[in-house]
Structure 1
C-alpha cells in the first residue's frame, strides 16, 4: 500500500470541502442549464461522435448534470455503461437503456438495474466520462476520495478518451495529487472542452 503524505491528504480534504460548498450554492436552474451545455459540447466532440460504447455516470446532488447527455447518447445509438458501486468502493458496470431502468443505490446514487458486466467492462469503452471535483492543467483529477474511479481507470487502455465533467471554475492551476491518482485526457465544463 502506498504511503499517503499527510500534507497532501489534508490539502485534498480542504479543497474538497471548499469545492463542495461552492457547488452547494449553485441554483438548480443553473445546474440544468450547465448540464445542457456540457451535453452539447461532448456530443459535438469527435471522440464521442465516433464512439460505439461510452462509459458514463448518473449525476446526483449538485454535480454538473449528465441526464441529458445519457439520453442523447442512447438516442445516437451508442451503448452506454454506468457504474455499480461495490461494497469495497470498486466499480462494476451495467448497460443503461433509460431513466426508467435506474434504481436508488448506496450513498444516494442511481444505478442501472440490468445485469452486472464485471469490473473489466469499462476497458471496452471508447470514451469514459467520469465525475470529479476539480482538475488541473496536467489532467490530474480530484475526486471525492473513495478511489473508485482511480481503480476503474487503471483498467482503461492507454489512449482512451477519458473526460471529467466539471463546472468551469473547478479547472484549477494545480490539484494536490498522490501516487495512485489517475490523470484524465480531457475536461468538459459549461464553457469548454479542454484536452490535456
Structure 2
C-alpha cells in the first residue's frame, strides 16, 4: 500500500467518523426510518429472498430496523461474524437474535456459524462503508473484510453500500484490492451506479 493513499484513506475515515459522531439522536433516528424504507424497497426491486446485511454500530446508518422488518417478512438475512483469518463467517438473523461484541468490538450475532461460503447463496449484499464515489468505489473502514469477500465470490450478487447522503462523494482514494459496489443506499435514496452496468 502506498503511504500517500494510506494517509489519504486514514484522514478521510477520521473526518467521516467525526461527522457521524456529531449527528443528533433525532437525526440518527430519522435516518434509520428512511434507510429501512429504502432497503425494503431494494429487496422488493430485486425480488430477493436471501440477503446479507450488517448490524450497524451507533455511528453507522441504522440497519437493525431493516433486519427486523426483513426477517418478519420471511427474508433470510445473513449477518457477518469476523474471524481472525481475515474472512467473514455468517449467521442467520432471527427475530430475537442475541448480539454480542465481536472481534473488533463490533456488534455481531450469536448463533450457529454457516462458514464463509454461505454468502454465495444470497440474492443481494448490503454492506457498510465510510464513503462511496460516483464510479462505485467504496472506502471501507480499513480491515478489508468486505473487499476480500466480494473479490473472492465467483457469482457475486448486486452489492449495495449503506452511507449517509453526504458520504456519496466525487472520489475516494483507491488501491488494487478495493472492490466497487453496484450502488448505494442512503436514508433518502437508492442509487445504482453507472459503472455497475
Same fold (TM over 0.5): yes
Alignment of 1:14-33 (within 5 A): 14-33=11-30
2:194 is the counterpart of 1:162: no
Instruction: Pick one of 113, 120, 126 that aligns with 2:117.
Output: 120
Match of 2:146 in 1: 149
2:56 is the counterpart of 1:59: yes
Aligned mates of 2:5, 2:91 — CA distance in 1: 34
Answer yes or no: is the 8 Å Cα contact 1:120–1:155 preserved in 2. no
Question: What SS class does the counterpart of residue 107 from structure 1 fall into?
Answer: coil
Match of 2:6 in 1: 9
Question: CA shift at 1:47, angstroms?
Answer: 5.4
Match of 1:134 in 2: 131
Question: CA shift at 1:87, angstroms?
Answer: 1.5
Match of 1:192 in 2: 189
The structure 1 segments of at least 4 consecutive aligned residues displaced by more than 3 Å after TM superposition are 46-49, 155-159
Question: CA shift at 1:7, angstroms?
Answer: 1.2
Aligned mates of 1:110, 1:99 — CA distance in 2: 15
Question: What SS class does the counterpart of residue 178 from structure 1 fall into?
Answer: coil
2:41 is the counterpart of 1:44: yes
The runs of 5 or more residues in structure 1 that have no matched partner are none
2:149 is the counterpart of 1:172: no
Aligned mates of 2:10, 2:109 — CA distance in 1: 30
Aligned mates of 1:16, 1:192 — CA distance in 2: 22
Question: CA shift at 1:46, angstroms?
Answer: 5.5
Answer yes or no: is the 8 Å Cα contact 2:97–2:110 preserved in 1. no
Instruction: Pick one of 91, 114, 118 that aligns with 1:94.
Output: 91
Answer yes or no: is the 8 Å Cα contact 1:55–1:125 preserved in 2. yes
Question: What SS class does the counterpart of residue 113 from structure 2 fall into?
Answer: coil
Tell me the TM-score normalised to structure 2 length: 0.92
Aligned mates of 1:172, 1:97 — CA distance in 2: 34
Match of 1:103 in 2: 100
Question: What SS class does the counterpart of residue 104 from structure 2 fall into?
Answer: helix
Question: CA shift at 1:159, angstroms?
Answer: 5.5
The runs of 5 or more residues in structure 2 that have no matched partner are none
